Amino acid sequence: MNSISEAAGQAFGLVAAADPKLVGIVVLSLRISLTAVLIGCAIGLPLGAAVAVNRFAGRRVLIVILNGLMGLPSVVVGLIVYLLLSRAGPLGSWGILFTPTAMVIAQAILITPTLAALSRQVVADSWQEYREQLRSLGETGLGAAATLLWDLRFSLVTIVLAGFGRAASEVGAVMIVGGNIDGVTRVMTTTIALETSKGDLPLALGLGFILLAIVLALNAGAYLVKETAQRRYG
């Protein structure tokens, strides 16, 4: 008990002093996860909306696959990306294994199905309401998907956050493809795992606090945006 409170005290000290090592790790983590979320949104949201709005052969199978991939274990993603990017792998010539870029790719692969599956659900629910009106106005296919994505933008904020939460909190994939190299690919979650096993609890706890604070702040922000927008736009 004593060691926990001591570690917590030192952790607050590190956070308050904006310890450069700690700041570096936090900035790298955010950079990687936000880039992965951007890529995931660019692919996942249009994919989800298109599947929700269009009827085509194999649609049901695709929906089941997307839903299933939401539970993709991050270590499995890490392993697959590792095999693809390792020297002997098909993309080995890129030479990006153990770089932040590899970590972005792994996280993007991890969260894209989640973004697609959740946005498909949100868009499909609203499509019932919009379908006749949009078809009557002459909007079909991908145009309708784009219109719905924009119209549901405030509901989608929560989905994007879920994607960010998953990316920022996973440890397996980034550990495997990043290698947890100090100052290069060491992010919050891998640091917490490493420092805990080494017994350096203050740094691990400090990062834990920050990770929690970021996730809470983002959720609070998203909630406010949604509330305000709903009052304003209905």
Interface ranges with another protein (CB under 8 A): 129-130, 132-139, 143, 147, 151-154, 229, 232-234
Q: What share of the chain is helix, strand, coil (3-state, %, to 5)?
A: 80, 0, 20
Nearer to another protein, 86 or 147 (CB): 147
CB of 138 to another protein, least distance (A): 4
Q: Give Cα 78 distance to the centre of its chain.
A: 14
Kindly tell me which of 116 and 134 has the beta carbon lying closer to another protein: 134
Q: Using an 8 Å Cβ cutoff, are 51 and 63 in contact?
A: yes
The CB density around residue 224, as the number of other CB atoms within 10 Å, is 10
Of the pair 31, 153, the CB lying nearest another protein is at 153
Q: How many CB atoms lie within 10 A of CB 128?
A: 8
Q: Is the Cβ–Cβ distance between 127 and 52 less than 8 Å?
A: yes
Rounded Cα distance between 97 and 1, Å, is 40
Shorter beta-carbon distance to another protein: residue 137 or 220? 137
CB of 164 to another protein, least distance (A): 23
Contact yes or no for 43/160 (Cβ under 8 A):
no
| Residue 37: CB minimum distance to another protein, A | 23
User: Which C-beta is closer to another protein: that of 20 or that of 138?
Assistant: 138
Which stretch of DSSP H or E encloses residue 106? Answer: helix 100-137
User: From the CB of 126, what's the least distance to another protein, in Å?
Assistant: 10
Who's near 79: CB < 8 A, 6+ residues apart?
Answer: 176
How far is 201 from 195, CA to CA, in rounded Å?
7
Which one, 134 or 145, has the nearer CB to another protein?
Answer: 134
Minimal distance, residue 117 CB to another protein, in Å: 23
Quick check: 229 and 211 in contact, CB under 8 A? no
Nearest-approach distance from CB 231 to another protein, in angstroms: 8
